[in-house]
Amino acid sequence: MDKDTFQQEVYNVVAAIPPGRVVTYGQIAYLVGRPQCSRMVGHAMHDVPDGMCLPCHRVVNSQGRLAPCWAEQRALLEAEGVTFRKNGCVDMKKCQWEFMKEQIQ
């Protein structure tokens, strides 16, 4: 799978995340068939083209931590009803998207 194909598959998954839910970089890597490539997902997220309207704020790390240096991410998630634990991480038990691969196609 070349870089452009990988990125497009990542963007397709991100586009499917419903409001009020989050997924991890690792989950996205799994869904695109590259379970060991969560860092590549992070790079793809960093490289989203300016004109592409994706809910990137719904992607967090496996502990529910937000992207560094993106102050607006928490406000965007809270506006959708995403809850946070006292340590500032997303409450993954309540807000993680329980996806099925068929939903991504």
Instruction: State the pLDDT at residue 11.
Output: 96
Average pLDDT rounded to a whole number, residues 14-20: 95
- Tell me if residue 56 is catalytic: yes
Class of 3-103 per CATH? mainly alpha
C-alpha 49/C-alpha 5 separation (Å) is: 14
Q: Are 66 and 74 in contact (CB under 8 A)?
A: yes
Whole-Å CA distances, 43 to 3, 81, 95, 105: 11, 27, 23, 22
Half-sphere exposure of 77 (CA within 13 A, CB side): 29
Question: How do residues 19-45 score in pLDDT, each as one tens digit?
Answer: 999 999 999 999 999 999 999 999 999
DSSP letter for 66, please.
P
Rounded to two decimals, the pTM is 0.90
Catalytic one of 53, 56, 69, 89: 56
Strands (E) across the chain are located at: 23-24, 59-60
